[in-house]
């Protein structure tokens, strides 16, 4: 079944890919899809014919899901703007994201409810990116009325605009004057997301209270997935050494959260099954706190499947959980297949999961002694597999090849592990026992400085990286 | 390769997925703009101490006579309007009209 799931997922991905190049009518494709599924049901006793029909239906399902995600509701604000180039517009809605600083300006996403153009007003939907030249104390869910000129995001060819398009954001509005924004009483949005973003803000304040700017920026990225404080220089250094993945919340962080939660609940003498359920809830909250990016969703789904298999006392399967995570993300947001973060996240885990056992067996790593040597070799091999798995994606998209990544990761990843662990300890202490957080902050800061020094040292090695 | 139950489950999920896609598509195409309303408040706020009689006249929610009253009230005072609430003092602006007008103006 697990291999079959992987085949279905691959065919589904092919369907998504085909949607970019071939254009079918939605209703004809949907009709074909239903007919193929019905035929698969009819021929379910014949293995080969069943497989052919089911895979063809999966292909069409992939095609249709991307096709459907690109269709906007008729009253969507983006449709209105394409028809009529409006001048000044008033948008009524709520903040669908937290306020973020980007390039000296402040941005947030407004979920539109009502539009007013000229002397006409109508109910609408959709999202608009709002850019402000100034700061205002705005948080997720705040009801707002914004006046300004709507602009179409240019091009949508790669980069940030492409990312916005995948989020369904086609328009932006520049705010230069405070008078353009009016706060409306009431609160919109989801209460759970609001709670998680509030918790995130609290954790960010703990980090910035106890650490200097560079260390706070690094820890924010490593633990909360917030990269806005990372300086361009540090980011460039990490990209060149192939260690930038440590600045993203991924499976490793999710694993730590699951482990810490399990440990705390065990300490509280909570029963095993309840402990697992509570750990799953904590993973879900952590996913929302860190912004639910692709690597976090992948890791959370995998983590939940792993915990669930422990719940059922069954052996967890990496391949099946990875496939299930990919399928879940692509069913919800099919456009994510074209996201580099999604590709890198799955390619690295896929190559570690499948390449590492093969290479380990081939090199006879199991028989390697002493244990310390085996541990080091294993680390090298994992790093090599992850590097090999992502090599072509990075070279194609970023035009950089980083041979030093294998060595850099062997040195940097253990340090990042320690930083993340002590960072989590500092955060928990910061919320419960502030005096302890102060003590924990010293080793965190020292480890981050050591990591940056190691990273810049490896970059001095000749041919550490080169552009293509 | 697959058991009958697994096949049934896959067919069920796929059918459900297709139904979801079709219903999603229908829901999107049915979300049309049902009605347009004409709000009293115009798009941009006007500076109460700088707005001209012509500009006030062009606003549908202010009668011509009242526009003149507002300008006269402003000209009669050296500093002009000091707060939006002063609009209440003008003859012809009751609490209801004031609620609408206060959205229309701002003061520097």
B5 to chain A, any CB pair closer than 8 A? The answer is no
- Whether the pLDDT of residue B44 is over 70: the answer is no
State whether A71 and B33 contact (CB < 8 Å): no
Among A54-68, A263-277, A367-381, B62-76, the range scoring the smallest mean pLDDT is A367-381
Amino acid A53: pLDDT: 94
Find the chain A residues whose C-beta atoms sit closer than 8 A to any C-beta of B.
1, 4, 8, 26, 30, 33-34, 37, 40-41, 44, 47, 50-51, 54, 57-58, 61, 64-65, 68, 71-76, 88-90, 116-125, 147, 179, 331
Give the chain A residue whose CA is nearest to the CA of B7: A44
pTM: 0.78
Helix A294-311 vs helix A340-363: angle between axes, to the nearest 10 degrees?
50
Amino acid A31: pLDDT: 94
- Whether the pLDDT of residue A445 is over 60: the answer is yes
State whether B28 and A331 contact (CB < 8 Å): no
State whether B18 and A30 contact (CB < 8 Å): yes
pLDDT tens digits, one per residue of A120-173 = 788 888 999 999 988 888 889 999 989 888 887 765 455 677 778 778 888 889
Cβ contacts of A76 within 8 Å, gap of 6 or more: A124, A125, A126, B31
Amino acid A157: pLDDT: 54
Which residues from A are below 8 Å from B58, CB to CB?
none
B22 to chain A, any CB pair closer than 8 A? The answer is yes
pLDDT tens digits, one per residue of B79-106 = 888 888 888 888 888 888 888 787 778 7
Query: How much is the ipTM here?
Result: 0.79
Length of chain B: 108
> If you average pLDDT over residues A91-115, what whole number do you get?
89
Amino acid A245: pLDDT: 85
Amino acid A133: pLDDT: 86
Alpha-carbon gap, residue B103 to B88, rounded angstroms: 14
Which range in A188-202, A356-370, B15-29, B60-74 is most confidently predicted, on average pLDDT? Answer: B15-29
Mutate to test the interface with A, among B31, B47, B58, B106 (most CBs of A within 10 A): B31
State whether A116 and B43 contact (CB < 8 Å): yes
pLDDT band at B13 (very low <50, low <70, confident <90, very high): very high
Give the chain B residue whose CA is nearest to the CA of A74: B32
Q: How far is A34 from chain B, CA to nearest CA, in Å?
A: 7
Amino acid A93: pLDDT: 93
């Amino acid at each position: 079944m697990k291999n079959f799931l992987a085949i279905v997922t691959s065919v589904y991905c092919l369907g998504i890919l085909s949607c970019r190049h071939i254009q079918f009518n939605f209703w004809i494709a949907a009709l074909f899809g239903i007919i193929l599924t019905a035929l698969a049901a009819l021929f379910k006793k014949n293995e080969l014919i069943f497989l052919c029909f089911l895979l063809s239906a999966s292909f069409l399902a992939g095609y249709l899901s991307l096709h459907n995600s690109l269709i906007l509701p008729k009253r969507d604000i983006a449709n209105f703007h394409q028809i009529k180039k409006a001048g000044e517009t008033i948008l009524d809605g709520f903040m669908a994201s937290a306020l973020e600083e980007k390039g000296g300006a402040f941005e947030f996403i407004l979920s539109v409810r009502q539009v007013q153009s000229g002397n006409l007003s109508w109910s609408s939907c959709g999202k608009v990116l709002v850019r402000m030249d100034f700061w205002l104390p705005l948080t997720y869910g705040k009801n707002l009325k914004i006046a300004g000129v709507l602009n179409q995001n240019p091009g949508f060819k790669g980069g940030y605009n492409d990312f916005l398009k995948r989020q369904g954001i086609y328009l932006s509005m520049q705010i230069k004057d405070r008078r353009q924004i009016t706060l409306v009483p009431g609160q919109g949005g989801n209460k759970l997301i609001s709670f998680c973003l509030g918790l995130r803000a609290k954790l960010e304040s703990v980090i910035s209270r106890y650490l200097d700017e560079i260390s706070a920026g690094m820890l924010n990225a490593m633990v909360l997935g917030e990269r806005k404080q990372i300086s361009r220089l540090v980011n460039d250094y990490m990209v060149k050494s192939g260690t930038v993945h440590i600045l993203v919340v991924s499976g490793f962080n999710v694993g730590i959260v699951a482990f810490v939660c399990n440990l705390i609940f065990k300490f509280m003498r909570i029963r095993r099954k309840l402990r697992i359920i509570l750990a799953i809830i904590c993973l879900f909250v952590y996913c929302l706190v860190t912004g639910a990016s692709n690597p976090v969703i992948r890791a959370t789904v995998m983590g939940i499947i792993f915990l669930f298999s422990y719940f059922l006392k069954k052996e967890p399967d990496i391949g099946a959980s990875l496939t299930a995570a990919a399928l879940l993300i692509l069913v919800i947001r099919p456009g994510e297949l074209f996201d580099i973060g999604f590709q890198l996240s799955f390619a690295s885990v896929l190559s570690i999961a499948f390449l590492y056992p093969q290479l380990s067996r081939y090199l006879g790593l199991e028989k390697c002694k002493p244990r310390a040597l085996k541990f080091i070799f294993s680390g090298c091999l994992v790093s090599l597999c992850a590097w090999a798995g992502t090599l072509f994606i990075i070279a194609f998209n970023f035009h950089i090849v980083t041979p030093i990544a294998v060595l850099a990761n062997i040195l940097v990843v253990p340090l990042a592990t320690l930083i993340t662990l002590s960072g989590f300890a500092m955060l928990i202490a910061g919320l419960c026992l502030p005096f302890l957080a102060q003590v924990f902050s010293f080793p965190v800061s020292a480890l981050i400085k050591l990591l940056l020094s190691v990273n810049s040292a490896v970059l001095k090695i000749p041919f550490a990286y080169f552009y293509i | 390769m697959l058991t009958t139950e697994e096949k049934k489950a896959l067919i069920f999920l796929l059918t459900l997925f297709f139904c979801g896609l079709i219903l999603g598509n229908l829901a999107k195409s049915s979300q049309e703009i049902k009605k347009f309303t004409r709000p009293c408040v115009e798009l941009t706020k006007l500076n109460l101490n700088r707005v001209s009689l012509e500009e006030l006249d062009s606003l549908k929610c202010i009668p011509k006579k009242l526009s003149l009253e507002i300008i006269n009230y402003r000209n009669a005072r050296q500093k002009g309007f000091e707060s939006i609430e002063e609009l209440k003092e003008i003859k012809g602006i009751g609490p209801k009209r004031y609620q609408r007008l206060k959205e229309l103006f701002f003061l520097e």
